[in-house]
Amino acid sequence: MVKYLKTGAEASNVAAIDRKVRDVVEATLADIEARGDVAVRELSVKFDKWDRDDYRLTPAEINAALAELSAQDIKDIEFAQEQVRNFAQIQRDSFKDVEVETMPGVILGHKNVPVQNAGCYVPGGKYPMLASAHMSVLTAKVAGVPRIITCAPPYMGKPASAIVAAQHMAGADEIYALGGIQAIGAMAIGTQTIEPVDILVGPGNAFVAEAKRQLFGRVGIDLFAGPTETLVIADETVDAEICATDLLGQAEHGPDSPCVLLTTSEKLARETMAEVARLLEILPTAGHARISWETYGQVIVADDHDEMIKIANELAFEHVQVMTDRDDWYWENMVDYGALFLGPRTNVANGDKVIGTNHTLPTKKAARYTGGLWVGKFLKTCSYQKITTDEAAAKIGRYCSRLCMLEGFSGHAEQANVRVRRYGGDNVPYATGAKPVAE
């Protein structure tokens, strides 16, 4: 029987917050569409206290940001970007264009065509999250996107040097110091100075995620990547310190980041809760982490591993850290998650910052129907066909003609009939199905 030692916010309270977010975002996007750059500037001043005539950074500003970083900072960014680029290239190499002759004279195929314009959001209001530049800009670059623009909010009153460096080093074509709904709206809708994009990618707060959701259809989006979620699945093979550390490591995103311990050991559960309380007294980012833990934190004790995996799949969390005596069993049997972190030697921070897999992952149960950001999100698999012989044109045409008439589409049927007449020599009456011939 499942036992909850700690529960999170009531679903009704969360829904009320979501409604408020939806309303704010809807009104803000309408304002950006109506007034363009003027609205964007007013919003930037209002929310980020950041005002300038042109939010695109100049080459001089980009070089100045690079100059503010140490040689070791640059080296560390280069290392992280190399890992992300390498894994993205492996993903790209898994895509193959296809062309096959399915019957004599009939050629079918598909090509993997890059999206032409990508907008990459890099969150940075509370923390300068430069890793999001690697994950979005670099991945789009490997996919072959010709134009990549990127936005990040100012940090402490100016563009965050580390973010700007990462955006530039990843290969962004345009870098804007813009955050929040105004950045998402400007990239998707376009303004007098910003050409719109075809797809929006990148994580963000609840307002950013909701803006992407509302704009989906007008532009493509990677996925619903809202506030961070982390689930730690553990048994008695690990201790409270590592469990509490992994929970708070993601809770510090705060203040609305769910963090859950799921375990078969009530002893470990209670010890972890005590360890969380201890660490919150010394963690420099406890101001954010405490709110997340107190409001959205959960501790769940299950009877066995089968029950744990059932609960984990129902939660469908973004990050799932597995530390048990059967980590590979979870890898084999879990189906709803953003990314798995298997065993105590790795952790979510590795995936967030440096190991090479992408950290833009589905939240709010979106893992039920999508994985995270990857090269494939920037590629369109587009099919094509051609017929190279008269015989094939007539043969396919006769079948097509009759099937169209079966559906009542005489205009469709005529598209086939005109070719049966020209290439097959059949005198097909107008708007009727072609007669079969012996094969």
Domains held by the chain: number: 3
Looking at the structure, do residues 130 and 55 belong to the same domain, yes or no? yes
Of 55-59, 207-211, 321-325, the one with minimum mean pLDDT is 207-211
Domain CATH for 334: 3.40.50.1980
- 366 in any annotated domain: yes
The chain-wide mean pLDDT, for the chain, equals 96
Give the position of tokens 């929040």: 180
Do residues 43 and 50 make contact, with C-beta atoms less than 8 angstroms apart?
Answer: no
Question: 121: which strand partners?
Answer: 151
Of 12-21, 150-159, 296-305, 414-423, the one with minimum mean pLDDT is 12-21
**Model-wide pTM > 0.95:** no
Looking at the structure, do residues 394 and 353 belong to the same domain, yes or no? no
pLDDT digit string (tens) for 231-246?
A: 999 999 999 999 999 9
pLDDT digit string (tens) for 170-224?
A: 999 999 999 999 999 999 999 999 999 999 999 988 899 999 999 999 999 998 7
Can you tell me the distance from the alpha carbon of 330 to that of 85, in angstroms, rounded to the nearest whole number? 28
Largest CA distance in the chain: 88
Reading the block at residue 280, the tokens are 């919150």
- 191 in any annotated domain: yes
Can you tell me the distance from the alpha carbon of 122 to that of 128, in angstroms, rounded to the nearest whole number? 9
- 414 in any annotated domain: yes
Looking at the structure, do residues 270 and 197 belong to the same domain, yes or no? no
Query: Which member of 68, 319, 332, 414 is catalytic?
Result: 319
pLDDT digit string (tens) for 69-110?
A: 999 999 999 999 999 999 999 999 999 999 999 999 999 999
Chosen domain end from 187, 221, 255: 221
Looking at the structure, do residues 354 and 414 belong to the same domain, yes or no? no
| Residue 319 annotated as catalytic | yes
Looking at the structure, do residues 397 and 367 belong to the same domain, yes or no? no
- 13 in any annotated domain: no
Question: For residue 178, with 0-12 CB atoms within 10 Å meaning exposed, 13-18 middle and 19 or more buried, which class applies?
Answer: buried
Chosen domain end from 202, 221, 240: 221
Looking at the structure, do residues 70 and 214 belong to the same domain, yes or no? yes
Q: What is the pLDDT of residue 10?
A: 72
Q: What is the pLDDT of residue 55?
A: 97
Query: Which member of 210, 229, 252, 318 is catalytic?
Result: 318
Reading the block at residue 184, the tokens are 């998402």
The C-alpha angle with vertex 406 and arms to 402 and 412, in degrees rounded to 5, equals: 65
Q: What is the extent of the structural domain holding 406?
A: 389-438
- 15 in any annotated domain: no
- 273 in any annotated domain: yes
Looking at the structure, do residues 139 and 216 belong to the same domain, yes or no? yes
Closest CA to 132 of 191, 93, 183: 183
Chosen domain end from 345, 372, 399: 372
Looking at the structure, do residues 83 and 206 belong to the same domain, yes or no? yes
Question: Which pLDDT band, with edges at 50, 70 and 90, does 436 fall under?
Answer: very high
Looking at the structure, do residues 282 and 147 belong to the same domain, yes or no? no
Can you tell me the distance from the alpha carbon of 69 to that of 162, in angstroms, rounded to the nearest whole number? 7
Closest CA to 234 of 142, 158, 327: 327
- Angstrom distances, CA of residue 341 to CA of 253, 318, 344: 18, 11, 8
Looking at the structure, do residues 358 and 400 belong to the same domain, yes or no? no
Q: What is the pLDDT of residue 127?
A: 86
- 99 in any annotated domain: no
Looking at the structure, do residues 293 and 276 belong to the same domain, yes or no? yes
Looking at the structure, do residues 350 and 403 belong to the same domain, yes or no? no
- 17 in any annotated domain: no
| Residue 134 annotated as catalytic | no
Question: Does the pLDDT of residue 227 top 90, yes or no?
Answer: no
Give the position of tokens 């007669």: 435
